[in-house]
A = this chain, B = another copy of it.
């Protein structure tokens, strides 16, 4: 490779590989319950967007309805959510959290907050221009990625 920034580019791609590797193994446990990445992902989505039905969840998460349905079923079995149907609209599904589900969310958000605090401490230690560089950098990579996968 003959790139001027070979070293930095390699560092970036090694970093991305590391993220991907860790994400697959990112299992959250609470009182005997094991929550896997896709489950946590869905839980967090629902927690932020209470009014989506399963189809809209699938669309917004970039998954198929089937995938969402299956994950919801598993979350139901684990006692995290309850799938309910409005008797006046038996077509769509509304998902609500059980008390345990709410505990899970709280616990997960707590650990997430810890991580965010670490990021915040680091970012706050930088100068405004430096943060701007990072912001632009991420934005630029996203544009490059989007141009690759239509």
Q: Is A89 an interface residue (CB 8 A)?
A: no
- The smallest beta-carbon distance between A78 and chain B, in angstroms, is 22
Q: Is A88 an interface residue (CB 8 A)?
A: no
CB-CB < 8 A to A133: which residues of B? 126, 130, 133-134
Q: Classify chain A: how many residues form its interface, as a range.
A: 35 or more
CB-CB < 8 A to A62: which residues of B? 21
CB-CB < 8 A to A134: which residues of B? 8, 133-134, 137
CB-CB < 8 A to A131: which residues of B? 5, 8
Cross-chain pairs A/B with CB under 8 angstroms, 18 sampled: A3-B117, A3-B120, A4-B120, A4-B124, A5-B119, A5-B120, A5-B124, A8-B131, A9-B119, A9-B123, A12-B138, A15-B138, A15-B142, A16-B19, A17-B41, A19-B19, A130-B133, A137-B137
Contacts A1-B113, A9-B119 aside, 4 further interface pairs with beta carbons under 8 A come to A1-B116, A3-B116, A19-B20, A134-B137
